[in-house]
Amino acid sequence: MNTLKVIILLASLSGLLILIGYFMGRGKGIVIALIISVLMNFGSYWFSDSIVLRMYNAQPVTRVEAPALYDAVESLSAKANIPVPKVYVIPNDTPNAFATGRNEDHAAVAVTSGILKILNQDELEGVLAHELSHIKHKDILISTMAATVASAVVLLSRWAVFFGNDEGSTISAIAVAIIAPIAATVIQMAISRSREYEADAGSARISGKPEALASALAKLSYAARKKPMDANPSTAHMFIVNPLSGEMIMNLFSTHPPIEKRIERLMKMKGNLS
């Protein structure tokens, strides 16, 4: 998905927010919705990385503490031509990883302790290159913006029911409260799924080993089905594989494309890299 499409999708989320504000209080409601949106985006821009890392008790590591992991991040960052992000390990046996931060100069890569146990070095580098690709293409900022605006849509859609001035407006508000969160989820899915495909391709270009990431994805997906991670649904889109994939209902609204399609695309790239 190109930048224009991402802008259109984010604008759609903002439009939903304004619509809900209208049902809450016409002109005043729109102003309230815009203020909430601005505040949420400001807060997420500056503090989302520290909030998410703290949420999962991620611990910073040095080269001495995790030499293979740190060296891989440093080497791949040089290949991706980006500053070396901070490196964190999450004390969780379910293998997974994510990147966070507002830009290349303020970014972090976090992996669970479980991922270090089941992946070989090539597979680990494939995963890390995927996360570095997210950082390089500013996906971490895009996904944060989408998540915060979508959260505002869901929150305000619930409030809208209590601001109906008559029977007609109350019914409309109830309809908005039902439809808006679904629409927000679909828009968020469209953004996140596309960025995952692009990060997979970016990983293949950075590491030069698309088959290694394909192998890693197969292992991570299997592990997630066997033992889903106790993750906050609002952050599920940040992980390389859906940490909630063990839940059937989450499969219907997954922020990640099917693993089979991701692996198929990666294998088609094998041998075509210059």
pLDDT in tens, 8-32: 666 666 666 666 666 666 556 667 7
Average pLDDT, integer, range 88-96: 96
Task: Report pLDDT digits (tens) over 111-162.
Answer: 999 999 999 999 999 999 999 999 998 887 776 666 666 666 666 666 665 6
60 beta partners: 88
Residue 172 pLDDT: 57
Sheet of 86-90: strand order equals 59-60, 86-90, 106-112, 97-103
pLDDT at 94 > cutoff 90: yes
**Local confidence band at 51 (pLDDT 50, 70, 90 cut-offs):** confident
Q: Which residue has the higher pLDDT, 146 or 251?
A: 146
> Annotated catalytic sites, by residue?
131
Task: Report pLDDT digits (tens) over 189-215.
Answer: 666 777 899 999 999 999 999 999 999
Paired tokens of 70 = 């740190």
Q: Which residue has the higher pLDDT, 258 or 255?
A: 258
Task: Report pLDDT digits (tens) over 222-231.
Answer: 998 888 888 8
Average pLDDT, integer, range 255-273: 86
| Residue 97, CA atoms < 13 Å, CB-side half-sphere | 32
**Local confidence band at 263 (pLDDT 50, 70, 90 cut-offs):** very high
pLDDT at 95 > cutoff 90: yes
Burial class for 92, CB neighbours closer than 10 Å (0-12, 13-18, 19+): buried
pLDDT at 184 > cutoff 90: no
**Local confidence band at 237 (pLDDT 50, 70, 90 cut-offs):** confident
CA 128 to chain centre: 15
Residue 247 pLDDT: 47
**Local confidence band at 50 (pLDDT 50, 70, 90 cut-offs):** confident
pLDDT at 1 > cutoff 50: no
**Local confidence band at 35 (pLDDT 50, 70, 90 cut-offs):** confident
**Cα angle at 46 between 75 and 66, to 5 degrees?**
30
**Cα-only R_g, the chain:** 20
pTM for this model (two decimals)? 0.78
SS3 content of the chain, % helix, strand, coil (to 5): 70, 10, 20
Neighbours of 158 (CB within 10 A): 15
pLDDT at 39 > cutoff 70: yes
Residue 80 pLDDT: 96
Average pLDDT, integer, range 62-80: 96
CA–CA gap between residue 20 and residue 52 (Å, rounded): 28
pLDDT at 176 > cutoff 50: yes
**What sign does the CA torsion over 130, 233, 151, 19 have?**
positive
CA–CA gap between residue 229 and residue 162 (Å, rounded): 35
